[in-house]
Structure 1
Amino acid sequence: MSIQGAVRAATPADVQAPPAPATPLDERVLGFGDGLVGVLSVPAGRAPRRTAVVLLNAGLVHRMGPFRLYVQLARRLAAEGYVVLRFDQSGLGDSPLSTRISDSRKRDEIGAAMDAVTRETGVARFVLGGVCSGADDAFNLAPQDTRVAGVVLLDGVGYATRGHRIRHYLPRLFNPARVWRALRRRLRKSEGEPRAVGNDDLRDFPRREEAVGRLHALDARGTQVLMLYTGGVASYHNHRRQAREAFGSVMDSPNMASEYWPECDHTFYVRAHREKLFAYLHDWMRARFPE
């Protein structure tokens, strides 16, 4: 579902912000690294759990996340005892563009974020995650840092499999209007019309073989991996078994979890979908990282 479609279908009651957590929590602005700025959410009046969460920017969106998704998620998790940092990477939100030129810039910044959380709270084990490019960054860094005990990939790495193509094209073959539109698009391309840039062109996915290798490496380390896909990425994921199709036997490991929620849009705009996400992540964290 597109963001516009979610907005049109939703009523005001659907999209109002979830109520604030009743459990007390503290939030403070944190400066660290090369001018990076973040907000640290910590439980108040109790010792934090031993695993913290770091949320990474979704595309060019400020650390609040799409439609304040990260704000709401951070406060929910902090109310349950987790330390959560949502921060702006270099050149985004309140973090100025770094003057340093380095191929490892993102890795260094996320490492500095984890260092800052440990200095502030003493927690030294982490779950990295985010939506879209935030998921991409988490997946790219996790194999390189042993402090990462889990990754939450919301509409993250994925590949269109043979099954995906069958499920996508077969129903369209029985719709003449869709077939005609597809032929017209193909004819325009053959006449030299430039192809429109889509969301998939802006993603940072490795080759599939490399992605499978990363998952095996994370599995061998005991890292917990959650891959949750929505209807917003139907261009490359459209079935609950597709992660198994794309990545193979590693998905049979108890360390791996895959979900497909076609009713949800890419930003979890509708309140009921956010509530479902928050409840699922809460249960996943409690099950995978017991105290």
Structure 2
Amino acid sequence: MNLHAAVPLPAAAHDTSAPSDRGYEERVHRFGDGLVGVATLPAGRAPRATALILLNAGLVHRMGPFRLYVQMARRLAAEGYVVLRFDQSGLGDSPLSSQHSDNRKRDEVRAAMALLEREAGVRRFVLGGICSGADDSFNIAPLEPRVAGLVLLDGVSYRTRGHKLRHYLPRLLNPLRVLRALWRRLVPRREPPRAVGNDDLRDFPTRDEASRRLLALDARGCQVLLLYTGGVASYHNHRRQALEAFGPVMRSSNMATEYWPECDHTFYVRRHREKLFACLQDWMQARFPD
């Protein structure tokens, strides 16, 4: 069997087609090296020229945290955009790849783009996702000229001087916190195991390399949305921090940043999801109207 051809999965697959009167329809595909994904397409109309590809958030199935990707795909498809959410190798319903490659993630995205070009006729793509999905998108985009946009939800950023001031100054002005910190230093106790932190889990390039990537993406006209929530306050805690971290490139009209401290990392609260969907719809329609 040609694994690069799109083939429907059996009826027992997790995702099923939705009625077209909702403004979208869904098709399940197996493509590439056994990858499984769901393409959500506009119903009853020709799709727009740009498609969104959503990459797994950590180890979460292609549905996204609490089905966030499903809802996002359907909202955007109803506006005319094709959206593919697929399981990368070894995640969800996609088996671990049989081929070892340093470029595996890039190859999988290229297979996803080939699928959408063949199935929907789109040749321009936006990559995106939450957390590691944002990291993978940011790492792949500079290598793929067909990537015209990035949606980075709680993606790359760095602890700047401003971040440290905003983080530590309120604590220093709180006498109770200061006393607790002094007590922990003065009273000997067994050290607890080191907690696993952001630096252990994320795939960020160096800060200089990230800035160079953004400059290169800006030069080729790539549209970038960086949206941060209160869920990543450990490394990003202000609406101007992207400018602090990456410099003047963030003043480009191709770059858009948002900071929503009231939202959690997975947009669990319904009104926060509605805010996210509205933001994405507005951004996609403004940057990719065709």
Classify 1:275/1:185 alpha carbon distance in 2 versus 1 (closer, same or farther; 3 Å): farther
Q: 1:161, 1:242 within 8 Å by CA — same for their partners in 2?
A: yes
**Cα deviation, residue 234, structure 1:** 0.2
Classify 1:93/1:214 alpha carbon distance in 2 versus 1 (closer, same or farther; 3 Å): same
- DSSP-derived class of the 1:123 partner: coil
Matched, 1:172 2:176: no
**Distance in 1 of aligned mates of 2:63 and 2:190:** 43
Contiguous gaps of at least 5 residues in structure 2: 1-18
**Distance in 2 of aligned mates of 1:183 and 1:26:** 60
Matched, 1:86 2:90: no
**Distance in 2 of aligned mates of 1:103 and 1:180:** 50
> What letter is aligned with 2:230?
G
> What letter is aligned with 1:45?
G
- Report the number of matched residues: 272
Q: 1:21, 1:79 within 8 Å by CA — same for their partners in 2?
A: no
**Cα deviation, residue 44, structure 1:** 1.0
The corresponding residue for 1:256 is: 255
Q: 1:232, 1:266 within 8 Å by CA — same for their partners in 2?
A: yes
| Superposition RMSD in Å | 1.9
> What letter is aligned with 2:268?
Y
Deviations for 1:151-196, whole angstroms, at most 9, x for unmatched residues?
A: 0000000001000000000000122332344456668999765311
TM-score (norm 2): 0.90
Matched, 1:220 2:219: yes
> What letter is aligned with 1:279?
A
Within 5 Å, give how 1:1-291 maps onto structure 2: 23-183=22-182, 193-291=192-290
**Cα deviation, residue 24, structure 1:** 2.3
The percentage of counterpart residues that share the same residue type is 76
Classify 1:229/1:48 alpha carbon distance in 2 versus 1 (closer, same or farther; 3 Å): same
Classify 1:134/1:246 alpha carbon distance in 2 versus 1 (closer, same or farther; 3 Å): same
Contiguous gaps of at least 5 residues in structure 1: 1-19
**Distance in 2 of aligned mates of 1:74 and 1:216:** 29
Comparing both chains, which one has the higher relative contact order based on Cα–Cα distances under 8 Å and sequence gaps of 6 or more?
Answer: 1
- DSSP-derived class of the 2:268 partner: coil
**Distance in 1 of aligned mates of 2:268 and 2:188:** 34
Q: 2:20, 2:44 within 8 Å by CA — same for their partners in 1?
A: no
Deviations for 1:55-86, whole angstroms, at most 9, x for unmatched residues?
A: 00000000000000000000000011000000
